[in-house]
Amino acid sequence: MPDKKYAIGLDYGTNSVRALIVDLSDGTEVASHVHEYQSGEAGIILDPASPHLARQNPRDYLTGLEDAVRMAVAKAEEGGDFCAADIIGIGVDTTGSTPIPVDAEGTPLSFKEEFGDNPNAMAWLWKDHTSVDEAEAITAAAAKLRPQYLAKCGGTYSSEWFWSKIWHCLKVDREVFDAAASWVEFADWVPAVLAGETDPKVIKRSVCAAGHKAMYSEEWGGLPDREFLAGLDPALGELRPRLYDEAVPSNVPAGELSKDWASRLGLKSGIPICTGAFDAHHGAVGAGVAEGTLVKIIGTSTCDVAVWPSDRDLADIPGVCGIVDGSVIPGMYGIEAGQSAVGDIFNWFVSVLCEGDSSLHEKLTEEAGKLAPGESGLLALDWNNGNRTILVDARLTGLLLGQTLRTTRAEVYRALIEATAFGARMILDRMEEYGVTVERVVNCGGIAEKNPMLMQIYADVTGRTMLISRSGQTCALGAAMFGAVCAGPDKGGYATIQDAQAAMCGVKETTYEPIPENREVYQELFELYRRLHDTFGLSGHSDALGDVMKKLLEIRSRVVG
């Protein structure tokens, strides 16, 4: 097969980086290798005195890059048919918002001797929550002065995001802040490194990171204006011109593989490298996100990604975390939503309340699978870790209702699964209310692959077909696909990401269709869920809930006959 072409997808997660080599003709995954970061605990620098701190050493990113790519290439070559020279593109996705303070050459400050061990000079990992106060202050200031900024990110600016972290650094470590010529997102830095040009004034910036986390939009000319930032702190205003004015989608090359890095990786130099993006967004592309098809990545929490053509009107969707033009697919709005806890809720119930292990998940799944919808008489709210979409409120908590003296573990387990399905439907309903129709959902992640009961409940509750992504590595796959698009059709790649999807994405044979009689019961239960949701979730919302428990009992009597 002399004309086979390949791309490498690099997927930087929280604890490791994966390199995946993909056959561009049909998406076959030729080889992959995962490198675990070596610093701190599982790659995360922690500080016992500051429990919300989570940083990473950018050296791990480079060590991991070299190891993961070399090993993946070596594995691919073992097959015999593969030749590294046929790799025509490289794509990169990372966690985020994970900003890194850099000097004028784009070198992370933590690489300099004077900052060596200072966590503030490292990468501020997405899950760092040291800047809660700054996030609240930004939300308050934007609500007053620039409400348009908030409208695109669901109404609340997060402590996990770009500006909160930079401002917090300014407050707690002026030395680092002053030494930073600029701040670069993790997703922007890796492609720049590969291209051999990290000058923050010229590197490509990801519209995905910029739009979803840094309040960037072409509507107001890019990042927040200097006046607004200076209102937060004059030093932030001064930083503004040292950042950037334009951000681009991943089909725009960030550059070409430098000679230096080509030799370090054992690849040809000159291979195009895509502009980076966040893992979930490339993952959605790799899973086949398209108009009408939402991708749901189900893990400890859930990330939902949808797209909508940019040339059609799309209003701001209240409570949806982010709507950014080109953040997922060029020429389309990327729409991001999510549930703060899904697998985490089941794990909490099994490991903390039941003190069980993974075998108990299996046992409860089996027993819960024998129950009919409504049979448990239970109803839960899936807010054990707050509500990310559509209420955008971290200060909400869980609720379980309907317990009797005979309520079993399996019934509670099923009720918790159903609660996450109702939460998922709230998101779909909100999107549809604002014109974004979703007909089918492609699900990714271990829970989706391993738990048919959960998938059937999701189909029944949402009334949508549930599909499972064929690839188990959709993030790296999506990154490789963007590598192929940056290479273009002349070199054996693709002209558009949609062309790449048509050739390279797929779903598993097993699909889950809504079962009409289940849908009917779940429609009733969902109406009760929505009343609890609104009554407990919206301040000032008033509802008479005196019928909720009784309706559950009526439904239960009906379904158990």
Q: Which residues of 481-494 are buried (b: 16+ CB within 10 A; e: fewer)?
A: bbbbbbbbeeebbb
The site that binds a second copy (CB under 8 A) totals a number of residues, namely 46
Q: Which residues pair with 339 in a beta bridge?
A: 302
Q: Which is nearer to a second copy, 192 or 379 (CB)?
A: 379
Strands 272-274 and 253-256: antiparallel
Under 8 Å between Cβ of 158 and 236: no
**What's the DSSP call for residue 127?**
T
Q: Select the residue interacting with a second copy from 94, 120, 217, 385 (CB under 8 A).
A: 385
**What's the DSSP call for residue 352?**
I
561 binds a second copy (CB under 8 A): no
408 binds a second copy (CB under 8 A): yes
403 binds a second copy (CB under 8 A): yes
359 binds a second copy (CB under 8 A): no
553 binds a second copy (CB under 8 A): yes
Positive or negative: CA dihedral 535, 541, 546, 551: negative
d(CA 409, CA 364): 7
419 binds a second copy (CB under 8 A): no
Under 8 Å between Cβ of 294 and 428: yes
Q: How far is the CB of 554 from a second copy (least distance, A)?
A: 9
434 binds a second copy (CB under 8 A): no
Q: How far is the CB of 360 from a second copy (least distance, A)?
A: 10
Q: Which is nearer to a second copy, 358 or 404 (CB)?
A: 404
Q: Which is nearer to a second copy, 137 or 553 (CB)?
A: 553
Count of other CB atoms within 10 angstroms of residue 359: 9
550 binds a second copy (CB under 8 A): yes
Q: Which residues of 159-183 are buried (b: 16+ CB within 10 A; e: fewer)?
A: bbbbbbbbbbbbeebeebbebbbbb
358 binds a second copy (CB under 8 A): no
Q: Which is nearer to a second copy, 117 or 355 (CB)?
A: 355
536 binds a second copy (CB under 8 A): yes
559 binds a second copy (CB under 8 A): no
Q: Which amino acid is at 456?
A: Q
299 binds a second copy (CB under 8 A): no
396 binds a second copy (CB under 8 A): yes
Q: Which is nearer to a second copy, 515 or 553 (CB)?
A: 553
Q: Which two tokens stand for residue 221?
A: 């000319």
Residue 197: exposure state from Cβ atoms within 10 A (0-12, 13-18, ≥19): middle
Q: How far is the CB of 529 from a second copy (least distance, A)?
A: 14
Residues found near a second copy in the complex (CB under 8 A): 341, 344-345, 348, 352-355, 377, 383-385, 395-409, 412, 535-550, 552-553
